[in-house]
Copies of this chain bind each other. A is one copy, B any other.
Amino acid sequence: MEQQDKANRHQLIQNWIYQAADHIRSSMQDPLQVSEKTSRKDLVTNMDKETESFLVEKIQQSFPNERILAEESSNQNTQDLNGVVWIIDPIDGTLNFVKQKHDFAIMIAVYEDGIGQMGYIYDVIKDEMYVGIKDQGVKCNQKQLSKVDDTSLAKGLVAISGLLLAEGNEAAKQVAKRSSGVRIVGSAGIETIYAVTGRIVAYVAASLAPWDIAAGKVIAEELGLMYTQQNGEPIQLLKKNPVLIATPSAHKEIFELLQGVSSK
């Protein structure tokens, strides 16, 4: 993807996200229509759907020949990642959006032949726009971010899926104990932001979908974090993945704990 093409897309994408976020914020006092998807912990609202429709329409108007993989769309007939593919999560952290009105994000990524070219995570309430462009680093609200320090597990906080801990997963418990402490935000996008800004050294997620991963992976890798499946294999972007995002040294430690081959 050419430099100029990326620059043109960037202006459009950022604009669309700000417009979508304005709509979400101005609707926050209105009653929400909330439905359960797979369980009472997996929700979708009219705002997820409206936001997705808005973004999909904008993309289709400007890029009619490009495919879109989006969380709330029923026809996700994307069998491969050839050409340009847009991957969007209109509201990442819907449970937080419904219950807290905080800690949710709009996420958009542009992939080309399976390679992440552009990633956007926008924290709607904090008004923080994280933009990662392949080989150009990451900016938050125009300000260039530094590469992350390679902090060890013992010296850092970690985010772990609440479900893993609530299920008593032994490896997750070991990761928690060896870290300085556990934090749980409940939005893959915002937990990825915590990792790229050094607030946590690792994020261990039980099962992330393509739209939970796509934007954050571009952003995290640009800043020197490792972003893999929990077994160390590369992410398979067209399916759900157990994910480990971490600094290189925390990644090595956690990977070993998760594989049960810890030297201790």
Contacts and interface: CB of A to CB of B under 8 A. Distances in A.
A180 interface: yes
Interface in A183-203: 183-186, 194, 199-200
A40 B177 CA distance: 11
B181 A183 contact: no
A166 B173 contact: yes
A167 B162 contact: no
B157 A166 contact: no
A253 to B, nearest CB: 15
Interface in A121-148: none
A103 to B, nearest CB: 8
Given A40-B154, A99-B156, A182 B199 contact: no
A95 interface: yes
Interface string A89-114: 00000011001111000000000000
Contacts of A183: 162, 184-186
A184 B162 CA distance: 9
A165 interface: yes
Contact of A173 (B154, B156, B167): B167
Instruction: State the oligomeric state as a number of copies.
Output: 2
Nearest to A174: B166
A55 interface: no
A264 interface: no
Given A162-B181, A182-B162, A199 B102 contact: yes
A41 interface: yes
Given A100-B194, A182-B184, A183-B186, 10 more contacts: A40-B154, A96-B157, A165-B165, A165-B166, A166-B173, A166-B176, A166-B177, A167-B173, A181-B186, A183-B185
Interface of A: 40-41, 95-96, 99-102, 154, 156-157, 162, 165-168, 173, 176-177, 180-186, 194, 199-200
Q: List the 9 closest A-B pairs by CB distance, nearest first.
A: A162-B182, A166-B176, A165-B165, A100-B199, A184-B184, A168-B168, A166-B173, A183-B184, A99-B157
